[in-house]
Amino acid sequence: MTHSAWQDGWCLDAEKCESPNFGPRPAQANIDLIVVHAISLPPGQYGGHAVQQLFTNTLPWDSHPYYQSIRGLQVSSHFFIERTGKLWQFVSCNERAWHAGDSYYRGRPNCNDDSIGIELEGLDGDAFEAMQYTSLAALCSTLARHFPIAHIAGHEHIAPGRKKDPGHGFDWDLLKKNVAWPSQYFPEV
C-alpha cells in the first residue's frame, strides 16, 4: 500500500473530508513530528462516521449519551485510519490541525504548530489491526518525502498524564520495522 500522490499538502490517495477546525502554522514552523492518536466514537465502538462528524462539527450530540461530555468540542486531525486501513484526510498538512492540545515534545511546546496528527480508529490500550499498521507506515513514508520528519510519538508522549493514546496496545516495534527509520525517531517505550 502506498500513499504517494500529493498536492498542496493533501494526500490524493486519502478520502478527503475537509474540517473547518484548523489554522495557519507559525512562519517558523518546522514540520518534523508525526503524532499518533487513537479515537473511537462512542469509545470502543468501531465503524460508522462519528469521527468524521466530530472533525467536521456535524456530530449529532444527542445521538449517544457519551457525546454530551464532548458537546461543542472543535478538534481535527490531519488523517484518520479506519480499522480496515482506509485513509481519510481532514486538513492540509500545510496547515495546523487541532489534535495535540496542550503539549510539549523534543524541547518545544505547542506540538500542533509543527506536527502532523494521525488518528487510528481504536481505543487506548486495545490492539490495532494489521491494515492500520500497513496504511500508517505507507503514510509515514509519504510524509517523510514531503516534510523533514525526524520524530514520531504518541499523544501520550507529547501530553503525558493528560493523554494515554495510542496506549500499550500500539505496537511501536512493528511500526519501526515497517518504516525502517532510525530508533532515535521514536519515543522510548
Q: Is 119 a catalytic residue?
A: yes
* Catalytic one of 119, 129, 156, 188: 119
| DSSP secondary structure of the chain | -----EETTEETTSEE---S-EEPPPTT----EEEEEEE-SSTT--SSSHHHHHHTT---GGGSGGGGGGTT-----SEEE-TT--EEE-S-TTSEES-S-S-EETTEE-GGGGEEEEEEES-TTS---HHHHHHHHHHHHHHHHHS---EEEEHHHHSBTTB--S-TTS-HHHHHHHHT--GGGS---
| Residues tagged active-site | 119
